[in-house]
Each structure stands twice: as C-alpha cells, then as structure tokens.
Amino acid sequence: MIRFLKHDEINKEQWDKCIHEAFNGLIYAYSWYLDSVSEDWEALVEGDYERVFPLTHRKKFFINYLYQPFFTQQLGVFSKSLLTEQITNSFIDALPAKYKFAEINLNSHNKLDLSNHQLIPLLNHELDLIDTYENIAGRYSQNIKRNIKKAKNSGVTIVNNIRPDDIIDLFISNKGKAIRTLNDKDYLMFKRLVYTSMYKGMARVIGAYTEENELCAGAIILVSHHRATFIFSATNQIAKANGAMSLLIDTFIYENAGSRLTFDFEGSNDPDLARFYKSFGSKEVYYHMLRFNKLPWPVNIGVRLIKAFGTS
C-alpha cells in the first residue's frame, strides 16, 4: 500500500535506510540532502519504507506544484527490490490531487509508458571506472589528451580538499554572471549542502592551480552508492586556455581507476558539455522529466507566473 506522508510524518531513519539499500539509490534522495534543497518535502511511501518517492513541492498563487530543486538532478521512485513499469506507474497514480502541476525528474530506473504520460527525455553521461586507467585513458578523444598534456606543460597542479567556497566564488565570478536563475540564497544553500556532505565523508573538493598558485578550475564531486557525481565545477579564462579541467577530471579518474565507482558527469543536454563529457569515453544514459498540468484553463496563467517568478 502506498501512503502519502507530510514532512513531519516521515521517519527519516527508515527513509535513509531505504535509500542506502535501494538498488537505484542516489545521494540526492537522502533525507538530509532533501532537507537542504527542499525544506518541507513530502513523500509517498510503500509498506515499511520498501519503496519511497520524495515530493519536492511549493505553493505560489494558491497553486500547489511539484518542482525539481537546484543541485538535484534525479529523484523519483527508489526501491529496495524489483521496480517495474507497473510499480512506478502506481506511484504516479498515487500523487496527491492537490498537486495540479508538475515538472519533476525521475531517475533512470523509473520506466513509464510514454503513451500515458508526458515524459521529456534528458541526457546524462556516465563512465565506469572498474577498468584500468590505461584502458580508460586510451579511450579519451585526441582533444582531451592534448588538453591534459597542455595543462601539465603549463605547470597546472591538482590539489584535493580545498575550500568549497573558493570553487563557488570562482564560478560566481565567471559563468555565474550569466546565470540569473541562481541567487545568493541558492549559493548559500549549496555551500551548506557541500559542507554537510564533507562532514559525512561523501564529498571530494578538488582544485586546479596555475604555476602562480592561482585557482583556475575546480570541481565538487559527491560520492555515494558507488557513484561519483560531478555536481559542480568552475573555470576561468586561464583554465579554458590551459586545459586545467581536463587534467582535473583525468586525475580523479587516475586515482579511482580499477574501483567499482561510476563517474557521473551529471549531464548534459547542452551540446558543448555533452561533447566534452563524451570525450572521456562516457556512455549516454537517459532519464525523464515527468510533466503534467491539471489546472483548469482559466488558471493556467498561474503556470506562466510560476515560471516568470521562478521556484524561489
């Protein structure tokens, strides 16, 4: 039986046990992670937390809706045991009627009938690190190999365990200037999330420095369920010229080759990023956004207002 639970009704110890044991578990679904990105998230729970579905929700203009929080690529149904299309569909059917609108990402193991649901395919790239470094690196594109060589010749140094703030500030000073959907509150939330992940031993914070000891590239990688998720990165113009990010990723792969880890590039539908990730020999993996709109037609203007004012 699937039941709906409000935030204060969720047994987080049992919840996290389910996520830990789920065959499709992801770091995004732990209760502490959800608490960071969506404070009053609710849930669908089957049985004694055998299967769970976090519901990240908000309310605007009297409209209750489901949304995908920042820094949370995939959610959906998580299960300790067999997960079929029929089971996933039963969770979708159990969504509370109060949610009249949704744009949420399911995980790659959630299969649904395309004819019965509005599903938008989204692209991810993953690289298994179980092979030897020599074999993995042998599958790099020539451009990645050139960038790694360029970075080494430029004297770029890769340093582990740097301050997350430095990478986030580097991002804000560069690419962040053009991203209007993230504000100071979102960056503060992300910093807290990263520090919590570090405290739990589930984060790697890596920087690339020039010969002059200037941080030119950085990455925050979250590790859980034998998966290393490339959740956040930053570069400046120097890194774009010296190939520092290619060397940073290559160094992580070198240090973890031969392990059971999968390197999750966390995207992307952006053609340039997808090309870059694919250059490391990654494979394409699809997951889906579930979208529905059950608002009466006069109220549909609310959806436009939600989109206009964002999810904050």
Pull the structure tokens for residue 118.
């509005």
Q: Please say whether the beta carbons of 110 and 88 come within 8 A.
A: yes
- Check: pTM over 0.85? Answer yes or no: yes
- Judge whether 250 and 72 are in contact, CB under 8 Å: no
Instruction: Decide if 279 is inside a domain.
Output: no
Give me the CATH number covering residue 245: 3.40.630.30
Clarify whether residues 159 and 235 are in a common domain: yes
**Helices 244-256/142-153 angle, 10° precision:** 100
Whole-number pLDDT of residue 311: 47
Q: Are residues 138 and 244 in the same domain?
A: yes
| 46 and 101 co-located in one domain | yes
Judgement on whether residues 85 and 146 belong to the same structural domain of the protein: no
Spatial CA neighbour of 281 closest among 73, 128, 123 = 128
Count of domains observed in the chain:
2
> What is the rounded distance in angstroms from the CA atom of residue 235 to the CA atom of residue 217?
4
Per-residue pLDDT of the chain (312 residues; tens, 9 = 90+): 999 999 999 999 999 999 999 999 999 999 999 999 999 999 999 999 999 999 999 988 788 999 999 999 999 999 999 999 999 999 999 999 999 999 999 999 999 987 778 999 999 999 999 999 999 999 999 999 999 999 999 999 999 999 999 999 999 999 888 888 899 999 999 999 999 999 999 999 999 999 999 999 999 999 999 999 999 999 999 999 999 999 999 999 999 999 999 999 997 778 888 899 999 999 999 999 999 998 876 666 655 655 555 544
HSE value, Cβ hemisphere, 13 Å, CA-based, for 27? 26
Separation CA 256–CA 253 (nearest Å): 5
In 245-303, beta strands by DSSP E: 262-264, 283-293
pLDDT at position 312:
47
Q: List, edge to edge, every strand of the sheet that includes 78-79.
A: 2-5, 42-46, 51-55, 78-79
Looking at the fold, whether 136 and 107 belong to one and the same domain comes out as: no
- 164 shares a domain with 231: yes
Q: Is residue 276 part of a domain?
A: no
- The verdict on 170 and 97 lying in the same domain is no
**CA 107 to mean position of chain CA atoms:** 10
- Is residue 206 within 8 Å of 219, Cβ to Cβ? yes
Task: Tell me: cis bond preceding 268? Omega within 30 of 0 counts.
Answer: yes
State whether 134 and 113 are in the same domain.
Answer: no
What CATH number did the domain enclosing 42 receive?
Answer: 3.40.630
- Residues of the domain holding 251: 130-260
Whether residue 266 lies inside any domain: the answer is: no
Q: Which residues contact 179 (CB under 8 A, 6 or more apart)?
A: none
Q: Is 189 within 8 Å of 37 (Cβ atoms)?
A: yes
- Contacts of residue 48, defined as CB under 8 A and 6 or more positions apart, other chains included, come to 14
* Shared-domain flag, residues 206 and 188: yes
Q: What is the pLDDT of residue 102?
A: 95
- The pLDDT assigned to 302 comes to 54
Query: Which has the closest alpha carbon to 204: 224, 218, 222?
Result: 222
